[in-house]
Amino acid sequence: MADLIEPLGWLHGAAARDAVAAGLAQPLAGGPAAFALARLLPGGEVVPVAAVPPRWQPVLDRIAAPPPGCWAGLAARPAVMAILNVTADSFSDGGRHLDPAVAVAAGLAMAAAGADVVDVGGESTRPGSRAVPLAEERARVVPVVRALAAQGVAVSIDTRNAATMAAALDAGARIVNDVSALAHDPASASLVAARGCPVVLMHMRGQPETMAGLGQYADVAAEVAAELAGRVAVAEAAGISRTAIALDPGIGFAKGTAENLDLLARLGVLLGLGFPLVVGVSRKGFIGRISGEAEPQHRFAGSIAAGLAACLAGAAVLRVHDVAETVQAVRLWRAILA
């Protein structure tokens, strides 16, 4: 296992600022939260941040630093990425936006509600879902991407397929969001490198059809970090700049309820890799299992609670269905911590 640090001893508001100024704490991803203790991995020893051994100092520096550069032009922290599924079978809103005109209207409404990016996808990747033919995926997403981009909306394309990435980028998409971390399609990494676009590498094991049986972990945060580091290495070897990369822990992908909760609680471990974190918890099954809410569209309160927990742990981008509610919650969260 590579050297990692789990931030502990959380501080907020004036207490965080005072402790950082006194050298007793480090900011988490540049602030506003801070942490006073560090669990050193592997091993598990807990030490004050001022006593972190030199071996782990580079990891500590990456956790404390603001996300490098201004990833994808998103100055707001945390930013809000709106989910626009142009699909028939997505778990929460399948079929609602299959009509391109309806999808475009929904995307414009999301942007007007405060979304920094609208993430357009034409293939469901929920557990057990089946692949969509490439021609069908492109036919679903390209008209929507083109229309939204023409209206000045920042668009990301949610796809595992290089041909769809290329078509969407040609239509005006700015970001590639790949649930397979560029592993599904052998041509995807070189395409993203050639286009020089920002990319989200998400953690997943197997395929949507098989991932439900691959959720066994000894230490989910450390293993997800190690597996994402491997995908980063592949991306860099293909010529993708580090400043173009953001990471997504893949909540709900090859992870059960216990793993999702553990990963969210220990999200700071992934900051040691040195990349902005995109987190998608919106309406997911573990929220329903904990809350008792069977209908995904009624899980917005639980989604916001989980999303704010991710923000506290250093998330740079929240990927959500309920845009207006999330934007309001994030503004209040920032104001309180400030």
pLDDT in tens, 54-107: 999 999 999 999 876 678 888 767 999 999 999 875 555 556 776 889 999 999
Give whole-number Cα distances, 289 to 24, 171, 280, in Å: 39, 39, 17
Average predicted confidence (pLDDT) for the chain = 92
- How high is the pLDDT of residue 95? 62
Helices (H), 121-266: 134-150, 162-170, 188-195, 220-237, 257-265
Residue with tokens 């094991």: 205
Same domain for 209 and 289: yes
Residue with tokens 């395929």: 207
What is the spatial distance between Cα 146 and Cα 151, in angstroms, rounded to a whole number?
A: 9
> In the predicted model, what is the mean pLDDT of residues 227-233?
98
Same domain for 38 and 185: no
Q: Which residues pair with 56 in a beta bridge?
A: none
Burial class (CB in 10 A: 0-12, 13-18, 19+), 98: middle
Q: Which residues pair with 279 in a beta bridge?
A: 318
- How high is the pLDDT of residue 337? 82
Domain boundary among 64, 99, 116: 64
Output the CA torsion sign for 279, 280, 284, 287: positive
Q: In what order do the strands lie in the sheet with 79-85?
A: 245-248, 199-202, 175-178, 155-158, 117-121, 79-85, 317-320, 278-279
What is the spatial distance between Cα 191 and Cα 179, in angstroms, rounded to a whole number?
A: 16
Same domain for 41 and 94: no
Same domain for 261 and 129: yes
The number of folded domains in the chain is 2
Amino acid at 172: G
- Asked if pLDDT for residue 116 goes beyond 90, the answer is yes
Same domain for 182 and 43: no
Pair 145, 152: CB distance under 8 Å = no
What is the spatial distance between Cα 67 and Cα 95, in angstroms, rounded to a whole number?
A: 36
Instruction: Return the SS3 of 66.
Output: coil
Same domain for 201 and 96: yes
- How high is the pLDDT of residue 184? 96
Q: Kindly state the tokens that stand for 249.
A: 């822990």
Same domain for 138 and 285: yes
What is the spatial distance between Cα 97 and Cα 89, in angstroms, rounded to a whole number?
A: 11
Same domain for 92 and 15: no
What is the spatial distance between Cα 313 and Cα 271, in angstroms, rounded to a whole number?
A: 9
Q: Which residues pair with 7 in a beta bridge?
A: 38
> Among 212-216, 246-250, 290-294, where is mean pLDDT lowest?
212-216
- Residues with catalytic annotation? 284, 319
- pLDDT tens-digit map of 25-63: 999 988 889 999 999 999 999 999 999 999 999 999 999
Strand duo 45-48 + 34-41: pairing: antiparallel
Q: Kindly state the tokens that stand for 338.
A: 């400030």
Domain containing 28: what range? Answer: 4-64
Cα–Cα nearest to 74, from 154, 148, 158, 171:
154
Domain boundary among 49, 64, 79: 64
- How high is the pLDDT of residue 69? 63
Domain boundary among 46, 64, 82: 64
pTM for this entry: 0.94
* Cα angle 119, 294, 317; round to 5: 25
Same domain for 87 and 30: no
Residue with tokens 């296992």: 1
Pair 176, 199: CB distance under 8 Å = yes
* Domain harbouring 250, CATH code: 3.20.20.20
Residue with tokens 């050297």: 3
Same domain for 157 and 19: no
Instruction: Return the SS3 of 75.
Output: coil
Compute the half-sphere exposure of residue 271: CA atoms within 13 Å on the CB side of its CA.
31
Same domain for 77 and 33: no
Same domain for 125 and 55: no
Sequence-separated (6 or more) residues with CB below 8 Å from residue 189: 182, 234, 235, 238, 240
Share of the chain above pLDDT 70, in %: 96
What is the spatial distance between Cα 320 and Cα 301, in angstroms, rounded to a whole number?
A: 12
